[in-house]
Structure 1
Amino acid sequence: MVNLPLEALRPIAEIDAPPGIDNLPVQPTHFVGRERELERLDAALLVSGPVLVQAVHGLGGIGKTTLVAQWAATRDHGHAPLRWITADTAASVERGLAEFATALQPVLAQALTVAQLADRALQWLSTHHDWLVVLDNVENHSDIADILARAHSGRILITSRRATGWQTATTIVRIDVLDPDESVALLIDTMTIDGPRNSDGDSELCAALGHLPLAIDQAGAYLAQNPLLTPRDYLTMLSLYPAEMFQHGAEVTDPQRTIARIWQVTVDKVTTAHPAAIDVLRRLAWFAPDDIPVNLFAGLAAPPALHAAIGALAAYNMISVHSGSASVSIHRLVQAVARTPDIDNLHDSEAALERAHADAAAVLLRALPGHPHPSTWATWRRLLPHVDTLIAHHDHHNNANLLATTTDILNLTGQFLDDQGSHNQAIDYIQRALIDSERAVGTDHPRTLTTRNNLALAYRSVGRFAEAIPLYERTLADRERVLGIDHLDTLTSRNNLADAYRSVGRFAEAIPLYERALADSTEALGIEHPSIVSSRNNLAAAYESTGRLTEAIALFELTIDDSERILGTDHPTILTSRNNLAAAYQSAGRLAEAVQLFELTLDARERILGVDHPDTLTSRNNLAAAYQSAGRLAEAVQLFELTLDARERIQGIDHPHTLTARNNLATAYQSSGRLTEALSLLELAMTECEQLLGADHPDTFVARCVLAEGYERANRLSDAGQLYERALADIEPAFGPDHPSTLFIRSILARLRGQGHLADG
């Protein structure tokens, strides 16, 4: 995390787009015709309305992306900024939005997660006008629903192979194959780049290629590289590769068959001089089509041979090279062909493809950073599309090497996504990693046990404790059996299970586990090991939760003394321990000491971590709560308002931490007698918790109880009782009948029934 400058703290509505952040793809070198389609896009500018939505659809290889890129680069559309977002998956849409937010304010790149950046971009679109966003290659309408719902007063241009579902579009443009005259013009334009050529057979060749722009472009590039050949000669070579060569086990569309035939002609020519070219294409087949870093070609050939092969493929229009970003791109149809076995040489072809898939996975795994840290986020975000694509094509379950590699990729990526707040996608990836690991190395292998632990952690991140706890319990039992009771992984599992027990109020089980984890860690690692600090902190927090405040405070104080000696006075872990000790002082009624320590901790975190670091916001919230407990309500309200403003601005209005901040401010308003403002915020907080987190999430339960308390204070006792009854119905099955929260709510309901405000239940 970074200490954000003042510019980053301004409300999003006040952020102007800096010049030079357009990311339009390179303008097509060869572009002919399409005047009717270009004019239809122009005409939409004349339509009035808050936001213009245009959809361009057609077959793969038909030229949708090329048309829109040409229009945006050459027509006077008058919109800025222009952001091009690859939209073939929900994840790629989110990443495109995150890149936009980073372009608006680069300093946020290492301060916010992908989800937070994407939400910030949507906030920007909703508060500005005259922008243009291109959503390229949309596969599912739901992937772009948030943009269509939240973006106003700008222009959205969509390309897609889908012909239906664009009812909200102002203009719908269907792209067909080129007219015969346009087709010939494109072929001649491409093949004569170095001077006039014999064009014998041009019309026949274009007809054989189905007037498909991508096919004509690649055929023209081949002829440009082989000046002694005519279009008729090329047509003769093409006849050697029937369309059926591409089809193997699945129905294939005509554009794919056409590209398959051209692909084989080109590969035969290029690999004669550059044998590595076929390996380059086969590796490219498993990654996302755009922005493929050149370091993912590692190991294919010696650098001179590799560079020569890449140059030859670019000359034949099989790939595009982007020197500025040290990357290449490839058309999806060319990738599809490169992933398809040759029906005439099926056995060798399938084996080569399987090797290429395994090699692509191995080189991608080596390129992925390790533990997610802000300094690695940019690399992660660039490689995520390639992870998504490689995993999407992962169906070679009999390849043990591939299974082991993809397990590690899925595991690492799942941890990064969980860290970034993309919890559901993280769960999906780690679940797949667990399946692959069990298949590859068995249920008791350390890799499998680590994956199972990571899946439990991801479940816990979204409040799915009913699934997380059994998984933690199984992992701990398996690690004790397989690795031993004192292994570091076993100690970690013991602590994780204790954390999960504490989260659901099972303190009688959590505390013995914490105590054992601390004792075992101390014996195995020594009292000076940094992890001992974390173990003590966890145990002290559990003591505090059960009212054992004297023990908690003593342990927190010991932790701080030891950790300051081991880690230094300003280490973030020390600041966490001080914050926890201040909370324990507050619970023990030692408010003066609590306030003083909260103030010192907030000051240190602002100085060391920055004013908008999550830990800083937590400290500001905690100090506000201490002020509220001490009756310093004006100061409490002011700090809570600052915290809510920062959460909304940095993390978005729908982030779970923002919901908590809204809840806390409402309670301060309530304590100050500002009941109308309090209830308005509390009702909003509860509704958003139910929508975003689910009715059964712990934060939703808290929001419901706090709102019920607000209704009580406002003398809306019937409303309060109904909410308490709903809260009891949610918490009792999850936490049990003897949990303190269950007993507390039951006592409130009994009181309300006794006063006649509720019917007997």
Structure 2
Amino acid sequence: MRKEPPALAKVVPQIEASGKGSVVIDGHNYGLVMTGDGARAVELPAEALRPPAQVDAPPGLDDLPLHRGPFVGRTSELQRLDAALAAPGGVLVQAVHGLGGVGKSTLAAHWAATRSHGCVPIRWINADSPTGVHEGLVALATSLQPALAEALTQGALAEYALQWLATHTGWLLILDNVNDPGDIAPLLARAPGGRFLITSRLATTWHDVTTVVRLDVLDQAEAVDLLTRRAATTAPGRNMDGAAELCAELGYLPLAVEQAGAYLAQNLLTTPRAYLDLIGRDPAMMYDQGAVGIDPERTIARIWRATLNRITADQPLAADLLRTLAWYAPDHIPAELLGDITEPVVNAAVGLLTAYSMITADPATGTLSMHRLVQAVARTPDPDDAHRQPQDIDAAQHHAIVGLSLPDSTHSNRAAWFRLAPHVAAYCRNAPAATDSPWVARALNNMGVFLDTEGFNTEAVRYLERAFDFHQRPGKSRSNPEAHAVRGNLAIAYGNAGFPRVSLPLAWQSLQDNINALGEEHPRSLTALNNVAGALYRDGRLADATSLYERSLQLHTATLGADHPHTLTARNNMAIAYQRLGRVRDAVTLLEENLRTRKRVLGEDHPQTLLARVNLADAYKVGGRLGDALRCFAENADSCRKFLGAAHPTTLASDEGIAAVYQAHGETGRAIALLEETLLARRRLHGDCDPRTLECRNQLAQAYQAAGDLPRAIGYFEENVTLKTDAFGEDAPTTLLARNNLAHALLGKAGHACQAVRVFEDNLARRERVLGPTHPDTLVSLRNLAFAAREAGDQEGALKYLRLELHRREQTLGANHTDTVVSRENLAFFLAEIGRVGQAIPLLQANLALRLRHDGPDHPDTIAAYETLQAAAEYAEDEE
């Protein structure tokens, strides 16, 4: 039986899948096929497929950062941003630049959130790097179309955001903390229809920006307000003692003030003053530490560390320069202190620091400025900070003091000395004395001598004391010539500052040291001899002082020559001693010669020439030549204003001399007006307790007294007594002088004679104990006590004191001295007043003979003596 063949299969095409995860579909498929690890499917709504130009910004797209603290100040900056936004035109780019921590981001966020700018949406982009800009654009795209986050790559999302910005208007982008303009350049170029607000530490790269706002620190009131409001969030009404001082220490930098306020809010028992003390004890920790809840990367130390990381990556020298600048005053730092500023590497480093707002350069003055808190952080060692390693800070401190190498000539480089003075002062504040080196001692000595010469004696003492202390350290050679020089300079400064008793032993020791080491005729020994004479003079020992001054002038002339500046100083000093001894004619002769020589040798405008003219004018005044005195003082005042400035001590001394002549002429109103101005200038220049300020106040009080305004005079005298007691002690000679003048004013006030007697008696006892019975000031006390006793009705007491004064003056000054003559006249007048004319006439006859011999027949004092004697003789005849 034949078999049938099998049925043939239906022939169809054969499809095979190949590879891992592949699939084969046989027939129609209407579903989603997914394959591969992590495969996902995204279902987009139809609107997500619209091009960016057709997408409107939904509500609630703003993403400004939350600022928890209070916002203070910045009115003018906000108004500038408002004005720029209101101006018509196309794309608007505004830039706010400034130091890290100055509040740029806070200002931008506050302006965007509170002003009526009408921008929608407002987007915040952290633009400190290309990555930050990219992430900000991606966030904008996904906020516009959330579904695209699953469908597009990061690059495609950023492109989507750029297209949206390019096709829409009215939006505002805040590009925060831009470190490189190149990071945002493509964004600015492609999106011309909106508004940009840029914040950056970069100060010099915003040439094409519509509005540039340089943000500075807060003012004092704003900073205190910010600190108080921030600290009071947890304890309203808390103790804010020291708030102003703390804000000043922080340089009114908003971030630093906020950091401090947050710390105070967290530590309720800590006052601002206590926080200030914490900074002094552990600055590294306080600058780096924030309160709980504060971003640790937002403390002032870490913000500037990040900036320096960027700067030093390009220019390592920049950190060295910043650490060096940290030792100077914050403002007006001469660029040459950093070395040769034209050196390419130095120039590049300074430029980079300026670009990042770490310093500010002023091309008009050739100076740099640096925020005081940046300085404080930069000179505070921190082993955890690569830019603040202890050895690097020590090296910077040394470079800073070497940079303060002072010019040699105090006159020809006078302006340079004054430019450096605040930076020497800042170095002294910032550097502990324990770190002083020979470089430091040398700089302090030189600056001390300069300031003492210029009349800033109190400041000079501070520098010279520190230099002296350095040379007195254990192990230091006492025979070092520099140590001898410092001791002598300190002695001079003490004397000029009103401390003759402190000055004298130093001056004697300096003289002995120099003679032993160098010989009597060496210039340093001659200077030391002159200094001893000056200390004796200020201590009232006029005879001893004059003897040494004469010896000093003789040696100076023989050794250095008659025209040497040191010889001229010796001649000036001797003349002033002669004047004090009553030898006014001799003094005038020497001072006239000195002025002529100084003009010829030093020039008309030299400070010593101008000072010589003041001394001559004063001698004219004392000698009764008021016209010559006024002319001389007035000419000098004009020259001083021209060459030294209106506020220079010699200028003010000239004005005080003019006022004294006015008062001698009876023009008390003019004298008072001029002295009021001069006192204000003295207080600004020297402070209230400087001897020159105190003397100016005393002169003003005497002018009011002469004008009959005793209440005002007494007020000034009392103020002087208080200031001198606080500054020098109640038994200091200058304090006793102030008490004497106060008592004299009380004597003129009705009903206060007995009170004046008590003050004079107390003052006399103190002066006899402190100064000795024959000191000139003690003799003045005797005379004043006599007049007070007379006013109080105690005739015998007055007579006793007048006779004792005359006896002591004849013993110490001699019968011919001007002060002795005046004492003799006073005794004679009082004897005549109480009816003892017969006893008065011999005294008046002796005085007339002395006046004729000393002053000549035509001198006003001689004429007055003759008339007084004649009147007394006629009175005696009438009595008989």
Bucket of the pairwise TM-score, normalised by the shorter protein: 0.5 to 0.7
Task: Give, in whole Å, the separation in 2 of the partners of 1:167 and 1:278.
Answer: 32
Preserved CA contact (<8 Å) 2:444 2:463: yes
Task: Find the residue that maps to 1:36 and give its secondary structure.
Answer: coil
Evaluate the alpha carbon distance shift between residue 68 and residue 455 of structure 1 in structure 2; reply closer, same or farther with a 3 A threshold: farther
Among 366, 370, 376, the residue aligned to 2:416: 376
State yes or no: 1:720 paired with 2:807: no
Paired residue type of 1:476: L
* 1:457 alignment partner in structure 2: 492
Q: Is the 8 A contact 2:617 2:630 kept in 1?
A: no
Distance in 1 of aligned mates of 2:611 and 2:376: 53
Query: Residue in 1 aligned with 2:190?
Result: none
User: Quick one: distance in 1 between partners of 2:385 and 2:274?
Assistant: 44
TM-score, normalization by structure 2: 0.52
Residue of structure 2 aligned with 1:388, choices 419, 422, 428: 428
Q: What is the identity, as a one-letter code, of the residue corresponding to 1:555?
A: L
CA spacing shift, 1:617–1:75, aligned 2, 3 Å:
farther
Could you tell me which of 464, 475, 478 is aligned with 1:430? 464
Q: Which residue of 1 aligns with 2:677?
A: 645
1:510 CA drift (Å): 0.4
Cα 1:217–1:391 change in 2 (3 A) is closer
Contact (CA 8 Å) 2:575, 2:587: kept in 1 or not?
Answer: yes
Task: Using the TM superposition, give the Cα deviation of residue 473 of structure 1 relative to its aligned residue in structure 2, in angstroms.
Answer: 1.0
- Deviation, 1:456, is 1.9
State yes or no: 1:732 paired with 2:768: yes
Q: Does 1:406 align with 2:444?
A: no
Q: Is 1:298 aligned to 2:329, yes or no?
A: no
Residue identity in the other structure for 2:486: T
- 1:36 corresponds, among 46, 68, 79, to 68
Residues 583, 414 of structure 1: alpha-carbon distance in 2 compared, 3 angstrom cutoff? closer
Q: Select the residue among 698, 705, 718 that pairs with 1:663.
A: 698
Residue type of the alignment partner of 1:646: T
SS in 2 for 1:35: coil
Q: 1:160-179 to 2 correspondence within 5 Å?
A: 161=260, 163=264, 164-166=270-272, 177=290
**Segment of structure 1 superposing worse, 699-708 or 321-330:** 321-330
Distance 1:340 1:605 in 2: 55
Note the 1:537-552 alignment, pairs <5 A: 537-552=572-587
Structure 1 Cα separation of the partners of residues 598 and 456 of structure 2: 33
Deviations 1:410-461 (A, max 9, x none): 2234445656877555434322212323458621212111211222233224
Question: Which residue does 2:403 correspond to in 1?
Answer: 363
Structure 1 stretch 499-508 or stretch 321-330: which is displaced more? 321-330
Instruction: Tell whether 2:302 aligns with 1:215.
Output: yes
Deviation digits for residues 620-640 of structure 1 (CA, Å, limit 9, x no counterpart): 4334434544xx31x244224
Q: Structure 1 CA distance, aligned partners of 2:526 and 2:227?
A: 48
Q: CA deviation at 1:323?
A: 4.1
Q: What is the deviation of 1:408?
A: 1.4
Hey, what does 2:740 align to over in structure 1? 705
Specify whether residues 729 and 423 from structure 1 end up closer, same or farther in structure 2 by C-alpha distance, changes over 3 A only.
farther
Q: Give yes or no for contact 1:636–1:668 (8 Å, CA) kept in 2.
A: yes
Whole-angstrom distance in 1 between the partners of 2:693 and 2:220: 28
From 331, 335, 359, give the equivalent of 2:378.
335
- Rg comparison, structure with higher value: 2
Q: Which residue of 2 aligns with 1:5?
A: none
Give the distance between the partners of 2:64 and 2:727, measured in 1 at CA. Answer: 48
The answer for unaligned runs of 5 or more in structure 2 is 1-62, 76-97, 115-218, 229-239, 249-255, 265-269, 276-285, 802-880
The amino acid of 2:67's aligned partner reads E
Distance in 1 between the 2:67 and 2:490 partners? Answer: 53
Whether the aligned pair in 2 keeps the contact of 1:501 and 1:507 (CA below 8 Å) is yes
Preserved contact between residue 369 and residue 380 of structure 1 (Cα < 8 Å):
no
CA distance in 1, matches of 2:743, 2:401: 53
**Match status 1:607 vs 2:638:** yes
Which one scores higher on RCO, CA 8 angstroms, separation ≥ 6? 1
Q: Residue type matched to 1:742 in 2?
A: T
Partner of 1:481: 516
Q: Which amino acid aligns with 1:379?
A: R
Q: Name the structure 1 match of 2:560.
A: 525
Distance 1:618-1:416 versus aligned 2 partners, 3 A rule: closer
Alignment of 1:412-423 (within 5 A): 412-415=446-449
Say if 1:628 and 1:282 are closer, same or farther in 2 by CA, change over 3 A.
closer
Structure-2 change in CA distance of 1:355 and 1:603 (3 Å): closer
1:365 partner letter = S
How far residue 509 of structure 1 moved from its aligned partner, in angstroms, is: 1.6
The residue type paired with residue 771 of structure 2 is F
Q: Counterparts in 2 of 1:246-395, with a 5 A limit?
A: 270=313, 276=317, 279-280=320-321, 283=324, 294-298=335-339, 303-307=343-347, 320-324=358-362, 325-326=367-368, 331=374, 335=378, 339=381, 355-365=395-405, 375-376=415-416, 379-380=419-420, 383-384=423-424, 386-388=426-428, 391-392=431-432, 395=434
Is the 1:137–1:159 contact (alpha carbons within 8 Å) kept by the matching residues of 2?
A: yes
Superposed displacement of residue 280, structure 1: 4.8
Give the AA of the match of 2:69. Answer: E
In the alignment, the residues of structure 2 paired with residue 371 and residue 417 of structure 1 have an alpha-carbon distance, to the nearest angstrom, of 12
Residues 160 and 534 of structure 1, relative CA distance in 2, 3 Å threshold: farther
Q: Give distance in 2, aligned partners of 1:689 and 1:408.
A: 32
For 1:221 and 1:571, locate their aligned partners in 2 and report how far apart those are by CA, in whole Å. 47
Equivalences, count: 555
What is the percentage of aligned positions where both structures have the same residue?
A: 28
**Cα distance in 1 between the residues matched to 2:720 and 2:344:** 61
Instruction: Give, in angstroms, the shift of residue 476 of structure 1.
Output: 1.1
8 Å contact 1:372–1:419 — kept in the other structure?
no
Q: CA deviation at 1:502?
A: 0.9
Matches of 1:64 and 1:564 in 2, distance apart? 51
8 Å contact from structure 1 (residues 293, 327) kept in 2: no
Following superposition, the deviation at residue 486 of structure 1 comes to 1.4
Letter in 1 for 2:761: E
Change (3 A) 1:548 1:41: closer
Per-residue CA deviation, residues 628-681 of structure 1 (Å, 9 max, x unaligned), is 44xx31x24422432323332564494654543443344344345444454344
CA positional deviation for 1:475: 0.7
- The Cα shift of 1:406 comes to 1.4
Aligned residue number for residue 87 of structure 1: none
CA contact (8 A) 1:177 1:210 kept: no
Paired residues of 2:655 and 2:678 also in contact (CA < 8 A): no
- Deviation readout 1:286-325 (Å, 9 max, x if unpaired): 55678766544438x993444556677889x8x8243445
Answer whether contact 1:620 1:639 (CA < 8 A) is retained: no
Tell me, yes or no, if the aligned pair for 2:656 and 2:678 is still in contact at 8 Å: no
The answer for the alignment partner of 1:497 in structure 2 is 532
TM-score by length of 1: 0.59
What is the deviation of 1:147? 12
Query: Contact 1:368/1:380 (CA < 8 Å) preserved in 2?
Result: no
The correspondence for 2:481, drawn from 443, 446, 453, is 446
Whichever residue aligns with residue 739 of structure 1, its letter is H
